[in-house]
Amino acid sequence: MGMGLMADVLDCEELTAPRQTAILVWLADYADDDSGSCWPSIPQLAQKTRYSEQTVMRVIRCLERDGWLTVIRSIEEAVSSEFVLNVLRLKGGSIRKARPST
């Protein structure tokens, strides 16, 4: 559970869109504080945020485009994609794109 990352998301002044912030908070809750990696499903995120699955997917695409996270998409339907939060950026660093885990 990423309590440190959740605090970083909430403290980040760059994040101004409420939906992006809400989804990043829940991703951070699932994520490892050091690597930023997590594997929640879209239905789980929709349930936690109370947004539709379509809204969650749209916001995740925006977060990925804007460099807040990287999505490593699973080719298996039954396996969730990996989300890698840009930990350095959330902590106030300057790297704009998240790096996938190895």
The answer to whether 31 and 61 are in contact (CB under 8 A) is no
Q: Report how far residue 95's alpha carbon sits from residue 99's, in angstroms, rounded to the nearest whole number.
A: 9
Predicted pLDDT of residue 20: 97
Structure confidence by residue, pLDDT tens digits, 24-80: 999 999 999 999 999 999 999 999 999 999 999 999 999 999 999 999 988 887 788
Helices (H), 12-80: 18-30, 42-49, 53-65
Proportion of the chain in helix, strand, coil states, percent, rounded to 5: 45, 10, 45
Four-way CATH pick for 3-90: 3.40.50.1000, 1.10.10.10, 3.40.50.150, 3.40.50.300: 1.10.10.10
Domain boundary assignment for the chain: 3-90
Structure confidence by residue, pLDDT tens digits, 3-27: 789 999 999 999 999 999 999 999 9
CB atoms < 10 A from the CB of 57, how many?
Answer: 14
Dig out the tokens for 63 from the structure: 């977060």
Asked if residue 101 has pLDDT above 70, the reply is no
